[in-house]
Amino acid sequence: MNTDDRKVAIVTGASRGIGAAVAERLARDGFVVVVNYAGGAAEAEALVRKIEAAGGRAVAAQADVSDPAAVRRVFDSAEAAFGGVDVLVNNAGIMKLAAIAEADDALFDSHVAVNLKGTFNALREAGKRLREGGRIINFSTSVIGLRLEKYGVYSATKAAVEALTAVMSKEMRGRSITVNAVAPGPTATALFLDGKSPELIDRMAKMNPLERLGTPEDIAAVVSFLAGPEGGWVNGQVLRANGGMD
């Protein structure tokens, strides 16, 4: 059981990138953090050690979020170890770019499985099991508003996440649970940087008036606000953390 009365946060896809920054920030904020990962076991374990070395508390939990039974096991283990779950951060996601006419079935199906079904699987568990006063934070993308070419399938799954966010915020009535989404703009992670030329990265960095890419820590700060005591009056919203891009 969680004997120190810290609140418990599950962060999906937390072995690297934005997810890892979110896990570190929530641990610094005083949460016990469940670091979910699909394949990056070594990275997840290294992150847990880093959090604990800084005085935080964390455990790694393997699960492919597209598998409902695996997601259930993460919640089961968190409840068994710590007594319950207070915060879900639905960060796990994939992004593979292709024009709609060129996208194959595997690209479409993988995006739906991870970005949409994976988010849904965790939402369903959280909806049944989150403790009173809990917080759910989903991940969307600012690309939805930009309508960038080759982002069609990715954007479609994230638009669906925004719809789930809005509806679930109403379905949690009576439990003091908020449901919001964070929609990052271009952020300096491997997911974003892979396969892009320096010229394209520079051009995208200058699309916002602050003229830089976001950092994982920028996004983690927004999640921290929504998960913390001062974010409790924000509900059913999509917070576009993108430097003013659009």
Distance (Å, rounded) from C-alpha 142 to C-alpha 146? 7
- Please report, for the chain, how many H helices and E strands are present, in that order: 10, 7
Distance (Å, rounded) from C-alpha 192 to C-alpha 214? 11
Task: Please confirm, yes or no, whether 154 is among the known catalytic residues.
Answer: yes
Token pair of 177 as six digits: 């649970």
Question: Which residue out of 75, 154, 192, 225 is catalytically annotated?
Answer: 154
Containing 78, the helix (H) or strand (E) segment is helix 68-82
Q: How many Cβ atoms from other residues are within 10 Å of residue 39's Cβ? A: 10
Token pair of 93 as six digits: 């996601």
Scan for tokens 């974010």, then name that residue. Answer: 231
Query: Which residues are tagged catalytic?
Result: 154
